[in-house]
Every structure is written in C-alpha cells, then in structure tokens.
Amino acid sequence: MAKKANAMGKSSRREESLSREQIIQAAIALLDENGEEGLTFRALSERLATGPGALYWHVANKNDLITAACDDLIGKTMRETSLTGTPQENIRVLGLAMFDAMDAHPWLGSALMHAPQQSPMLHLVERIGHQLCTMGVAKAKHWVAASTLLNYIFGVGGRNAANGQYARANGRDRADFLETISTAWSQLDPNEYPFVRSLAARLRSHDDRKDFAAGMGLILQGISSTESLETNA
C-alpha cells in the first residue's frame, strides 16, 4: 500500500511539474509545424518527453488544447497592440496585428473561425466592437459592420497564410509563386480576360500586407459613411 501511495505521489508530482504553459507552447510549435492534423497527444507527449496522463492533468482534450493555444496567441497579440489612434486607425491596427499573427501561425485563422463562441474570438470581437461604438456606428449596423470586418480579416488574412504555407510546402518562394501566376494571367485571351490581363504585372510585385491594409481602409470608409452613423440612424 505504501509503495502504491508513493508511486501515486511521484506521478502527481511529475504531472504538476509539467506546467500548462509548457504544454500550450509545445502545442503551438506542433501546430506551426504540421497544422491541426499534426497535433496529437502522442506527438505532444513525445515532444515533452512525458506520458499522456501528464497532459490530461492540465487539458481535457484536443479542442481544449487548441482553444488554449489560440487564447495564448490572441492574448499576446492584443497585449502587444497599442491602440492610441482614432477608432478607424485602431481597427486597422488590430486587423494588421491579426494578419501578422495568422501569417506566423497559419492554422490560427481556421481554428478561430471554427469556434466563434469561444473566448479567443470573443476577445477580438469585443475589441473591434468597442471601436465601432466609439466611431458612433448605429446599433442597427453593429452586426453588419463587425461581421464584415471579421470576415475580411480572417478571409484575406487566412488565405494569405495558406498561400505562404502552400508555397513553403512545395519548396517555392513567394516571388517564384507569383511570377508563375502572373505569367499565366498575361497569356490569357485578351478578348475574354482584358481586366485580368491588366492586373498581371501588378500581381507580380504586389505587397500582401499593404493590400490588406488598403482593403481595411475601403471597408472602414463604408462603415464611416454618414448613413451608418448613430446621428443619422
């Protein structure tokens, strides 16, 4: 009995010595390397040189772990994002911060969109919502304004991250990837695709982050239009 109790005591100490923060950081590293499919408790146990029991001591399941990883990254992003400008400027800063976070962690956008009811997404919605209220956007426009911004941030930011991940996985750098597409566009039928052909040269040299910021600006101009403001609602 004494030996069994002693063994249980040692097991508890091992589980407690492995912190939740260590598990989350290791999970983020695995997610960055292999995406959501690559995050398994077996892989995580091997990375941390421990048993599955030590992990379950701190996290309930894979979904709980991914939520914790998202929460950690969103929390860090929010803490490091200084909002000192106008509401429009602050929303643009938040959008760019999320763009950069998804670029660094390509799985992040998808994980957040799959769990809109969980705290990481809610933190971002609240931050953006506060800025919309400060702008004086009419309450009737809150849903449309917030959802449009979120769909743009995660749609464009997520696609940019996915494109970068695809290029890296196939051993291609960004310049080569864009050159291939640009060349294909420039060779399209000029009668059927005149507009697409006109964009070919721009595609070759465009800056994804600057384009993302410019798109945010267009959306914010629409939200700031007089018909959307509380004073004219």
8 A C-beta contact, residue 31 and residue 65: no
pLDDT, one tens digit per residue, over 130-149 is: 999 999 999 999 999 999 99
Question: Does the global pTM surpass 0.85?
Answer: no
Which residue's entry shows tokens 């969980």?
118
Residue 232 has pLDDT above 70, yes or no: no
Other Cβ atoms less than 10 A from the Cβ of 221: the count is 10
Q: Residue 114's pLDDT band (boundaries 50, 70, 90)?
A: confident
Of 165 and 73, the structure prediction assigns the larger pLDDT to: 73
Phi then psi dihedrals of residue 191, to 5 deg? -80, -35
Q: Tell me if residue 18 falls in helix, strand or coil.
A: coil
Determine what percent of the chain is predicted with pLDDT higher than 90.
53
Which residue's entry shows tokens 């960004």?
174
Residue 162 has pLDDT above 60, yes or no: yes
Q: Residue 161's pLDDT band (boundaries 50, 70, 90)?
A: confident
CA–CA separation, 225 vs 211, rounded Å?
22
Greatest distance between any 2 Cα atoms in the chain: 86
Mean pLDDT of the 31-42 span = 90
Q: Tell me if residue 105 falls in helix, strand or coil.
A: coil
Amino acid at the residue 40: T
Task: Give the per-residue pLDDT at 126.
Answer: 93
CA–CA separation, 1 vs 183, rounded Å?
75
Amino acid at the residue 216: M
The domains found in the chain, sorted by start residue, are: 1-59 (1.10.10.60), 83-232 (1.10.357.10)
**Which of these, 231, 227, 209, 12, lies nearest to 95 by C-alpha position?**
209
pLDDT, one tens digit per residue, over 168-218 is: 767 777 777 788 889 999 999 999 999 999 998 888 888 899 999 999 999
Task: Give the per-residue pLDDT at 8.
Answer: 44
For helices 208-223 and 142-169, the axis angle rounded to 10 degrees is 170
Average pLDDT, the chain: 85
8 A C-beta contact, residue 27 and residue 69: yes
Q: Residue 116's pLDDT band (boundaries 50, 70, 90)?
A: low
